Amino acid sequence: MIKGKFIDNLPKVYGIYTGGFLVFIILMAIAEQAGMSAKLIGIFFVAFTVAIYAIIGYLSRTVQVDAYYVAGRQVPTVFNGMATAADWMSGASFVAMAGGIYFKGYGYMALLVGWTGGYVLVASLLAPYLRKFGCYTVPDFIGTRYGGNVARLSAVLVLTVASFTYVTAQINATGTIASVALDIPFGIAVYVGLASILLCSMLGGMRAVTWTQVAQYIVLIIAYLLPVFWISNKMGAGVFPHLMLADEVARIAELESQFGLGTVKNSAADLATVPKGLAGITKAHSEVNTTPWKFISLAVCMMAGTASLPHVMMRYFTTPSVKAARRSVGWSLFFIFLLYSSAPMLATLSKLSLMDPNLATGIIGKSIADVQALDWYQNWNQANLMFVSDFNGNGTLELNEFFMGGKAVVLATPEIAGLPYVISGLVAAGGMAAAMSTADGLVLAIANALSHDLYYKIIDPKAETAKRLIVARVLLVIIGFAGATIAALEIQGILGSVIWAFDFAMSGLFFPLVLGVWWKRANAQGAVAGMLLGLASGTAYLIWVRTGGAGFWGVTQLTFGIVGSLVSLVSMIVVSLMTKAPDAATQKMVDEVRVPSGKTVLGKQH
């Protein structure tokens, strides 16, 4: 009833939505001038946006299998690009990335290259072929292409390990933001975050997640770009920061050497007084500060991981055609590029506004007492994200005496640069949107794999539609709660577990997926060996390095996917060649996948 019309009217619907959101920002700005408290503005921003997502989720409810699993395969190219970008850019991209660049500079930017370069692999190696296949989930492809429940189960296992590692980090991020914005304890905020995530996805599955993700992309990109442009213009650094910050980058290098970066070091006793999780600048901003192999190995892991993470891949199952899937990857990357290319600019602006003594906001070189009296310093010090200490006792703040948490670069820079609080509220809403959209996609990917591949395909193939969808929803809630419970324990940081998720996915799924399309001779035995041995060896390497192992080839705990995927590739080829070639029907299936025209391999309803 609404559906056909809704798809035709998408640009209009989201145009009105964007306009409405801008009006809301202006209203909040007026309210701030009229004396509304910062706390209340933050609550309004987060509550208002989450309420909208929940309404979209409710309106997209469905009782149809293909709407629940693949949004009815009618999401237009550009909108699928936006949804993928939101799906992709997590709390880590939004909140932590600029911070990472701020502290580590060039070496850290390997993540920027890796998290974008992977899309070339997605577009050329996988997405169009999996779309032609017509599967609902990634294990659905593995299970049908290779045949047999063992292959299907192995794929479910890898998917669950990788996505679950990822999702705890995202629920953690929604909890952090909800606790700051709504002023509630983290342990409760985690469940508030979870409730909002489930509101979006439970009733409508993939269809609901798609349309909320588009809405979330619009919020998060406005929330990221507006402060970057605003701060740049306010500082007089350039109207269009991306093309005009070269002088600022050079100025930072000059200040770094002037303030003795790298020569003045903190003693271990001094550092022990710094609160956990905070860091000072120890790496140069724009200088090449890492070995080529370190940079490249990290980028390679992120790229192969991108092409194996199921929550991204399944977004391309929702397009109307193979051609649309291919183009949609391009749009996804374009929308991601808008944010990623801005992160280094934000890091530059943030660093300069803190460091440059010629700017009113600069604090390095000022007296410690003055800095401690600043409003924003007190706020963020209280939030445990900022710290100064007069180690050398000279009364002025040196570069090595100022410490900040990674999240603070995105969350606090607007306030430091003197922007009105309404911008900080907007940034909180953006961070919430980024973390929620990714968590939604991940929880759905896991629950769908378990309900479709494990329950329907293996346990009860005769289950009726209504029962299948109930099982899917129950699993969604269970997975969500399990994720939130682990997130509440706060075992690891957000960024570390995100990187691990990529390595897990790459270890177990990259080669079984790619060779499933590109190598006809690959068979079930080979694929199972590839998935299980890849995952096992990657995990073993991680544990070994974590428990003090030396490692080899310079592969660290952040790049263990290199070991896992190599084992996966070798074992898959060896075992495939040692066992029987796939039968004629399977070979024909691969042939069909390779041409865009004709029917999908799996039927519309399966």
Partner 1 sequence: MSKQQQHWEKTRGLLFITLAIWFVFSIGIFFFGAEMESSSIRPFGYPLSYYMTCQGSLGIFVILIFWFAGRQEKIDEEFGFTEREDS
Which residues would be at the binding site for partner 1 (CB under 8 A)? Answer: 106, 109-110, 112-114, 116-117, 119-121, 123-125, 128, 242-247, 249-250, 286-288, 290, 292, 295-296, 299-300, 303, 321-323, 326-327, 329-330, 333-334, 337, 340-341, 343-345, 591, 594-597, 599
Q: In angstroms, rounded to a whole number, what is the distance separating the alpha carbons of residues 570 and 534?
A: 9
Q: In angstroms, rounded to a whole number, what is the distance separating the alpha carbons of residues 572 and 536?
A: 14
Please say whether the beta carbons of 84 and 312 come within 8 A. yes
Least Å distance, CB 321 to partner 1, is: 5
Least Å distance, CB 96 to partner 1, is: 16
* Identity of the residue, 390 or 592, whose beta carbon is nearer to partner 1 in the bound complex: 592
* Identity of the residue, 128 or 204, whose beta carbon is nearer to partner 1 in the bound complex: 128
Least Å distance, CB 335 to partner 1, is: 10
Least Å distance, CB 245 to partner 1, is: 8
What region, left, alpha or beta, does residue 597 occupy, with left being phi > 0 and alpha being psi -120 to 50 degrees? Answer: beta
Query: By three-state DSSP, how is residue 419 classified?
Result: coil
- 277 closest CA partner among 111, 492, 498: 492
* Identity of the residue, 131 or 452, whose beta carbon is nearer to partner 1 in the bound complex: 131
* Identity of the residue, 209 or 301, whose beta carbon is nearer to partner 1 in the bound complex: 301
**Vertex 69: Cα angle to 176 and 178 (nearest 5):** 10
Residue 50 makes CB contacts below 8 A (sequence gap 6+) with 196, 199, 432, 436
Least Å distance, CB 285 to partner 1, is: 8
Q: In angstroms, rounded to a whole number, what is the distance separating the alpha carbons of residues 170 and 195?
A: 13
Please say whether the beta carbons of 68 and 207 come within 8 A. yes
Measuring CA to CA, how many Å separate 313 from each of 122, 319, 534, 535?
8, 12, 20, 19
Least Å distance, CB 407 to partner 1, is: 20
* Identity of the residue, 290 or 539, whose beta carbon is nearer to partner 1 in the bound complex: 290
- 571 closest CA partner among 523, 604, 606: 523
Measuring CA to CA, how many Å separate 221 from each of 169, 213, 434, 452?
21, 12, 9, 33
Least Å distance, CB 584 to partner 1, is: 15
* Identity of the residue, 123 or 417, whose beta carbon is nearer to partner 1 in the bound complex: 123
Least Å distance, CB 339 to partner 1, is: 11
Least Å distance, CB 290 to partner 1, is: 8
* Identity of the residue, 343 or 545, whose beta carbon is nearer to partner 1 in the bound complex: 343
Least Å distance, CB 470 to partner 1, is: 31
Tell how far CA 227 is from the center of its chain: 20
Q: Within 13 Å, how many C-alpha atoms sit on residue 137's CB side?
A: 31
For 564, phi then psi, to 5°, come to: -55, -45
* Identity of the residue, 46 or 109, whose beta carbon is nearer to partner 1 in the bound complex: 109
* Identity of the residue, 113 or 274, whose beta carbon is nearer to partner 1 in the bound complex: 113
Helix, strand and coil in the chain, % to nearest 5: 75, 0, 25
- 130 closest CA partner among 310, 356, 364: 310
* Identity of the residue, 103 or 340, whose beta carbon is nearer to partner 1 in the bound complex: 340
